[in-house]
């Protein structure tokens, strides 16, 4: 019964039955007057997750990559200069997308395992006295390396230089699992998707758009049709879509937001922090190293873990899948063969996480890793036990007297 096991990849994530049932709906007429009853509250409630009041949410039938393309093509023109740091596979892919759209891309090369370098962004912006840089691109949560970057620090660097560039942020693997503050951090475009923190199937690119970015869309010259902000925003304002919407995903998203708000966003973030720290306790007990180079960089949604010298991480993840029927994230880019990833986001609990850690240990023991069977699981258990009371209080569970 392979399908009964949870997945521990960084996305798509496990889909709760409640959301699967919500998506199992018959087709409705998206041009009927009552479609607005689904669409308008959905877009308004998504703003609460982005933590924006001044911006608006625009969603396309797509994955997060489509959201990247929409962000670029709606706010920039061929030849426009952007600056972006490369410190993982997903920041690399964003660079590639920009280059294919004929943008002038200034790349800040950083070691994988580090985060967005606010100081180097500050240097580039301060040197750009003619304000040729039109946008700063940052990956909030680098899924390939398990690194979280400080977006607020990047915004402070931009403000200190008095630079008018827009701030575009990839929050695909962080939104709805980690705290994100679009307005407070001065983010102009925040790109996410339905398949990670929202616990749904892949199918919607969800983008937080500032007023400044909306204004830029009136001038941008990059070709776009399907991903045009103007078409989508105009249709949304009238209660519709410019083309066929992903109705089943939208019904699932409505129920996903209900679940997130019932738990409370702060409790959702606390749950992810707690689960992530338990995973890190296990990694330390195994004697292994995280790709993230320091604690302030640790992601709450994914941990990338180096295997010992002489071992191949792909062989480990393949063995886990073939023998135990569980999926873990493979190493990407520079991490290929060197690291595996544990996704701990979305619909996940500490009890589910313990099953994943125990499975990794069994596989490492099978392959002769220098790891004591049960050591990591025990370390995570101890952490979860110590924090269980506070976790129960967060969920509103009362102790029996």
**Mean per-residue pLDDT, 347-359:** 97
Q: Which domain holds residue 58?
A: 17-261
Read off the pLDDT band of 4 (50, 70, 90).
confident
Same domain for 141 and 225, yes or no, is yes
Residue 390 is predicted with a pLDDT of 72
Q: What is the CATH number of the domain that holds 95?
A: 3.40.640.10
In total, how many domains does the chain have? 2
What is d(CA 167, CA 187) in angstroms, rounded to the nearest whole number? 5
Which pTM does this prediction carry? Answer: 0.95
Closest CA to 281 of 376, 388, 387, 145: 376
- Over residues 62-85, the pLDDT tens digits come to 999 999 999 999 999 999 999 999
> Quick one: 250 and 285 in the same domain?
no
pLDDT by residue (tens digit) across 101-150?
999 999 999 999 999 999 999 999 999 999 999 999 999 999 999 999 99
The answer to whether position 219 is within a domain reads: yes
Mean pLDDT of the 300-319 span: 98
Q: What are 205's strand-pairing partners?
A: 60, 193
Q: What is the mean pLDDT of residues 41-57?
A: 98
Are both 117 and 163 inside the same structural domain? yes
pLDDT tens-place string over residues 199-219:
999 999 999 999 999 999 999
Do 185 and 280 reside in the same domain of the chain?
no
Tens of pLDDT, residues 227-273: 999 999 999 999 999 999 999 999 999 999 999 999 999 999 999 99
Asked if residue 28 and residue 154 are part of one domain, the reply reads yes
Of 240, 261, 282, the one marking the end of a domain is 261
Task: Give the whole-angstrom CA distance, residue 321 versus residue 328.
Answer: 8
Residue 104 lies in a domain: yes
What does pLDDT average to over the chain?
A: 95
Domain-terminating residue out of 261, 287, 305: 261
Task: Measure Cα distances from 160 to 128, 152, 164, 386 in Å.
Answer: 13, 12, 11, 43
Residue 400: pLDDT above 90?
Answer: no
The pLDDT assigned to 271 comes to 98
CATH (domain of 290): 3.90.1150.10
Whether 395 has a pLDDT exceeding 90, the answer reads no
Query: What pLDDT was estimated at residue 353?
Result: 98
Residue 398: is its pLDDT beyond 70? no
């Amino acid at each position: 019964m392979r399908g009964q096991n949870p997945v521990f990849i960084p996305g798509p994530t496990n889909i709760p039955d409640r959301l699967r049932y919500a998506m199992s709906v018959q087709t409705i007429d998206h041009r009927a007057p009552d479609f607005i009853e689904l669409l308008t509250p959905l877009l308004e409630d998504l703003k609460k997750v982005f933590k924006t009041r001044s911006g608006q949410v625009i969603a396309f039938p797509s994955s997060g990559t489509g959201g990247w393309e929409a962000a670029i093509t709606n706010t920039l023109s061929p030849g426009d200069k952007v600056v972006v740091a490369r410190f993982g596979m997903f920041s690399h892919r964003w660079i590639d997308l920009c280059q294919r759209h004929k943008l002038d891309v200034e790349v800040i090369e950083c070691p994988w395992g580090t985060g967005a370098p606010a100081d180097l962004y500050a240097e580039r912006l301060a040197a750009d006295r003619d304000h040729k840089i039109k946008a700063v691109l940052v990956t909030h949560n680098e899924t390939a390396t398990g690194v979280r970057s400080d977006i607020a620090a990047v915004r402070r660097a931009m403000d200190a230089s008095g630079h008018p560039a827009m701030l575009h942020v990839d929050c695909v693997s962080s939104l709805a699992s980690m705290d994100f503050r679009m307005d407070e951090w001065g983010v102009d475009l925040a790109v996410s998707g339905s398949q990670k923190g929202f616990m749904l199937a892949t199918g919607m690119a969800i983008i937080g758009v500032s007023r400044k970015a909306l204004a830029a869309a009136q001038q941008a010259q990059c070709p776009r049709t399907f991903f045009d902000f103007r078409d989508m925003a105009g249709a949304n304002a009238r209660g519709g879509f410019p083309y066929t919407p992903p109705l089943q995903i939208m019904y699932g998203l409505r129920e996903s937001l209900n679940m997130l708000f019932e738990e409370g966003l702060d409790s959702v973030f606390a749950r992810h922090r707690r689960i992530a720290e338990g995973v890190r306790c296990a990694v330390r007990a195994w004697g292994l190293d995280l790709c993230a180079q320091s604690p302030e960089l640790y992601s709450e949604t994914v941990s990338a873990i180096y295997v010992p010298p002489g071992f191949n991480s792909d062989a480990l993840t393949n063995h886990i899948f073939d023998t135990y029927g569980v999926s873990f994230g493979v190493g990407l880019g520079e991490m290929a063969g060197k690291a595996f990833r544990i996704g701990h986001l979305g619909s996940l609990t500490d009890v589910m996480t313990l099953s994943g850690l125990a499975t990794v240990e069994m596989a490492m023991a099978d392959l002769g890793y220098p790891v004591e069977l049960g050591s990591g699981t025990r370390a995570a258990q101890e952490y979860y036990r110590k924090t269980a009371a506070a976790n129960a209080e967060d969920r509103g569970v009362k102790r029996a007297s």
